[in-house]
Chain A
Amino acid sequence: MPSSGALLAKYTPAAVTHGTPLAVLGVDGVVVLEGEAHVPARLEHLSARGKWVRDVQVPEGTREAVAHLAQRYSIVWASEWGPNAHLALAGVLGLPATPWPYLPVQFDKLAAIRQYAGGRPWVWIDDPVVDLHPLPDDPGGVVVRVDPSKGLVGLDLSEIDEAVLRTAARRAPSHGASTIRKSS
C-alpha cells in the first residue's frame, strides 16, 4: 500500500472553497452506468476533445442530483477519468465552465481523499468496485457506496447531508466519527 504522501506527490489540485464540506465523486457507476441500468437512463455520447468517445448511460435525475450536491459541497472528482471527468460530462450534467478539481485515482482512493480534505468534512460517493481492500472502521468521513446499476440517483441525498453534518459535529474539534453507507 503506497503512502498517502506518495499518492499525492504527483498531482495536488487546488482546493476551491476552504471550509466547505467536500463531496468526492467517482464517475463510473456513480454518474454514468455500465451494463444494465435499473433506473431510467439516457444513452449519452461523451467525448474528450475528440480524442476518444464513449457511449454511456446517464440516469435521469443525475444532473439534478449533482446540482444538489454542488449547492452544499465543494465537488471533487476522484476517478480514472482524471481531468476528463469534468470535460466530458460538462454538457450532460450542466457543470460550470471552471472544472472542479480532480484526484487521479482509480482504486483504494481513501488515502488520497483524506489527504486532500485535510480537516474538512467530506462524503465520498463511489462504486464499491473501487475498493480493492476493505475500508478501515474509521475512514475519517462519510463513505457512501452506490448500486452501480442506479448510480447517484439511487441514493437519498438528504440522508447524506445529515450524515455529513452529524459527522462534522462529532469531529469538532477532535472526534474521529465516521460512517460507511451502502445504497439499497
Chain B
Amino acid sequence: MSDATTTPAAEAVPDTGTAYGLALGGPLNELAQVGPGTPYGEVMRRYWHPISKAEKVTTTPRRVKVLGEELVLFRTGRGEPALLHPRCIHRGASLYYGGVEEDGIRCCYHGWVFDPKGHCLEQPCEPDLGQHRDKVRQPWYPVQERYGLVWAYMGPPDKKPVLPRYDVFENIPEGLHLIVNDAGVGGGGPEVLDFNWLQHWENVMDPFHVPILHARFSGEQFTPEMAVIPEVTFEYTPVGVRSTQIRKLDGKRALRRRTEVMFPNLRVVPSPRLTPGQTNLIGWVVPEDDTTFRIFTLAVHEDLDFLSKLRSTFGGKPWAELSEEEHRRMPGDYEAQKSQGPISLHSEDHLTTTDQGVAMLRRMMAKQIRAVAAGKDPVGVIRDPADEVVTITGGNFFLTHEEALAEGLVDA
C-alpha cells in the first residue's frame, strides 16, 4: 500500500519550505521604536502630540506614558495644564502623589512646589522657603489646549514648532459639534492598543485589506461599497502619503475615497460608513511606548455619538462583547494587527503589489529620520504662525454616472 507522500518521485525530490530550522528576522526598529534617542522617536519629538482629553486633566495628578516616557499630568488650581517628569528633583519621590495647588504641584515628601514650567516656587523646609530655589528646575514639557485635547511638545526646546490647526475643525457650523474621543476609534479593539503603533499607522496606507478583512472574511463590517476591491493611486504629498481609491458602484457611479497619512502619526481615514464629502474626522496614533498606543480622534458631526456609532461591529456585536471564538471567526483590524506581534518582524514581510502604500510610508519615514539626524526639520513642521492651518484632502466623494464617465472611471 502506498500514498502520495511515499511515491518514488517524492522521495527523490523532497519538498522544501518547511518550518524546520526557521530563523526569523526582526523588526525595523529604526521606524517602530519611539523612545528618547531612537531614530523615529526623535522624529516624533519634533511635533506636538495629543496626550489627553482636556476634560480628564484635573487637579488630581495622573500618570501618563508618552513616547516611552513616564510623566505626570495635572491642572493647576488656576486651570493651567502641566506635564512634569514624575521624579521630584529633590529626593526622587513621585509627583503622582503630590498635591495640586493654585500655581503648581507640591511634592508629598518635603513639600517642594513646582509650577507647570518646572520652576520651583517653594521649599518649605529650607530657610526663607528656599533661598536657592530659583537655581533648580523640575523637568517639564510644554503643553497647550486645543480642540478639547491637551497637546505636548517633547522635543528640543529650540525646535518647538507651531501647534497646527486643521481646516476641518475651524469654523464649525451651527448645529454641529466637535467630538473628542480617546477610546481607540479606528483601532478595532480596546482603548489602549497593545502592540506597536506602526502596525496600525501603516495600515492606513493599505486600502486593499478593506474588502478582504472587513468584508469577505469577517462579513460586512462597514458598507456594501467598501466591499468592492478598489483601483488605487498612491502619491507622496508634502506632508505624507495619500491613496485615492476608486470603487465602481451600481448604476455606473463611482466612489472616490481618499485616505492620508500625515507626519508624524496622523491618520486621515474618512468615515468607513461613507459620510460624503471632505472627511469630518482625523486621528492621531500616539505611542505610549513601543508596544502600546492610543488613538485620539476628533470629529465634527451633529450626533455626539457619531464616533461611537462609527465603530465596526461583528455579526452585529461590538468588539468588546465578542467571545474568543467570535474573535477568531470574525477578526478585524485589532486581531490582524496585534497578531503581527508586539513589534512586527518587518524583515520577514513579503511586500508586493498591494503594499505599495505601506512601502512608500516606510520610505518617507526613513527620509525624516535622515532629515532630523542632519539637524533639519521633518516634513509638516510649521514654523510660521501664518501657516498654522493644515488642509485635509481626505474624504468620500461620490460621483454620478455623468461625472464618473467624464473622468473615464466608468464605461458609458
Q: Is the CB of B351 within 8 A of A82?
A: yes
8 Å CB contact of B24 from A6, A34, A50, A130 = A6
A80 to B251, CA, bound (A): 37
Contact indicator A106/B363 (Cβ below 8 Å): yes
> For chain A residues 66-106, which have a beta carbon within 8 Å of chain B?
80-84, 104, 106
**Contacts A106-B363, A107-B366; is A52 near B347 (CB within 8 Å)?**
no
The interface residues of chain B lying within 8 Å CB-to-CB of A132 are 28, 30, 39, 366, 369
Q: Are A34 and B231 in touch, CB under 8 angstroms?
A: no
Instruction: Determine the distance from Cα of A82 to Cα of B351 in the docked complex, in whole angstroms.
Output: 7
Cross-interface CB contact of B23 among A6, A11, A83, cutoff 8 Å: A6
Q: Are A5 and B231 in contact (CB under 8 A)?
A: no
A48 adjacent to chain B (CB < 8 Å): yes
Closest to A34 in B: B236
Is residue B353 contacting chain A, with contact meaning CB distance below 8 A?
Answer: yes
Q: Is A55 at the interface (CB under 8 A from chain B)?
A: yes
Tell me if B234 and A54 are in contact (CB < 8 A).
Answer: yes
CB distance from B345 to the nearest CB of A (A): 8
Interface pair B24/A52, CB less than 8 Å apart: no
Tally A-B pairs: CB < 8 A. 90
Residue with the greatest number of chain B CB neighbours at <10 A, chosen from A6, A55, A83: A6
A-side residues, CB < 8 A to B, are: 1-3, 5-7, 9-11, 28, 34-35, 48-55, 80-84, 104, 106-107, 128-130, 132
**Nearest opposing residue in chain A for B232, CB measure:** A52
Is B308 an interface residue, CB under 8 A from the partner? no
Q: A83 contacts B347, CB within 8 Å?
A: no
| CB atoms of A52 and B366 under 8 A apart | no
B28 in contact with A52 (CB, 8 Å): no
The chain A residue sitting closest to B351, CB to CB, is: A80
Complex Cα gap A129–B362 (Å): 11
Are the C-beta atoms of B351 and A104 separated by less than 8 Å?
Answer: yes
Which 5 A/B pairs are nearest by Cβ-Cβ distance? A2-B25, A80-B359, A52-B232, A6-B23, A2-B347
| Chain A: CB-nearest residue to B345 | A2
How far apart are the CA atoms of A143 and B355 in the complex, in Å? 27
Residues of chain B contacted by A53 (CB below 8 angstroms)? 231-234
A84 to B208 Cα, complex, angstroms = 16
Within 8 A of A (CB), among B25-52: 25-26, 28, 30, 39
Collect the chain B residues with CB atoms within 8 Å of residue A5's CB: 23
| Residues of A with C-beta under 8 A to B359 | 80-81, 106
Cα distance A5–B22 in the bound complex, in angstroms: 9
Q: Which of B25, B353, B367 contacts A129 (CB 8 A)?
A: B367
Q: Taking the nearest CB of chain B, how far is it from the CB of A107, in angstroms?
A: 7
Q: Are the C-beta atoms of B26 and A1 separated by less than 8 Å?
A: yes
Query: Is B235 in the interface zone, CB < 8 Å from A?
Result: yes
Interface residues of B in 363-378 (CB under 8 A from A): 363, 366-367, 369-370
B137 nearest CB across to chain A (Å) = 36
Q: Which residues of A contact B28 (CB under 8 A)?
A: 107, 132
Tell whether, in the assembled complex, residue A55 and residue B366 are in contact, meaning their CB atoms are under 8 Å apart: no
B317 within 8 A of A: no
Contact A51 B30 (CB under 8 A): no
Nearest CB of A to B125, in Å: 51
- Residues in chain B within 8 A of chain A (CB atoms): 22-26, 28, 30, 39, 208, 231-236, 347-348, 350-357, 359, 362-363, 366-367, 369-370
Which residue on chain B has the smallest CB distance to residue A49? B353
In the assembled complex, the Cα of A2 lies from the Cα of B25 at a distance in Å of 4
Is B23's CB under 8 angstroms from A48's CB? no
Residues of A within 8 A of B367 (CB): 129
Report whether B356 and A84 are in contact in the complex, using a CB–CB cutoff of 8 Å.
yes
- Flag if A52 contacts B352 (CB, 8 Å): no
Q: Is the CB of A52 within 8 A of B23?
A: no
Name the B residues within 8 Å of A83 (CB-CB): 352-353
A residues less than 8 Å from B350 (CB atoms): 10-11, 82, 104
B363 near A80 (CB under 8 angstroms)? yes
Please name the residue on chain A nearest to B357 by beta carbon.
A52
- Chain B residue nearest to A133 (CB atoms) is B30
Q: Give which listed residue, B232, B235, B362, B363, contacts A51 with CB less than 8 A.
A: B232
Neighbouring A residues of B355 by C-beta, 8 Å: 80
In the complex, what's the smallest C-beta–C-beta distance from B29 to chain A, in angstroms?
Answer: 9
Asked if A55 meets B235 with Cβ closer than 8 Å, knowing A6-B24, A107-B28, the reply is yes
Apart from the given pairs A28-B363, A84-B356, 20 other A-B contacts in the complex at a CB distance below 8 Å: A2-B25, A2-B348, A5-B23, A6-B24, A6-B25, A7-B347, A51-B232, A52-B354, A52-B356, A54-B234, A55-B233, A81-B356, A82-B352, A84-B353, A104-B352, A106-B351, A107-B30, A129-B366, A129-B370, A130-B366
Q: Is the CB of B362 within 8 A of A106?
A: yes
Select from chain A the residue with minimum beta-carbon distance to B347: A2
- Cβ distance B360 to chain A, nearest Cβ, rounded Å: 8
> Are A129 and B363 CB-contacts (below 8 A) given A2-B26, A52-B231?
yes
Question: Once the chains bind, are A3 and B23 in contact (CB under 8 Å)?
Answer: yes
B233 and A9 form a contact (CB under 8 A): no
**Chain A residue at minimum C-beta to C-beta distance from B367:** A129
B231 closest partner in A (C-beta): A50
Interchain Cβ contacts under 8 Å between A and B, 6 examples: A2-B347, A2-B348, A53-B232, A80-B359, A81-B356, A104-B352
A10 to B350, CA, bound (A): 8
- Residues of B near A52 (CB, < 8 A) are 231-234, 353-354, 356-357
Report how far A80 CA is from B346 CA in the complex, Å: 12
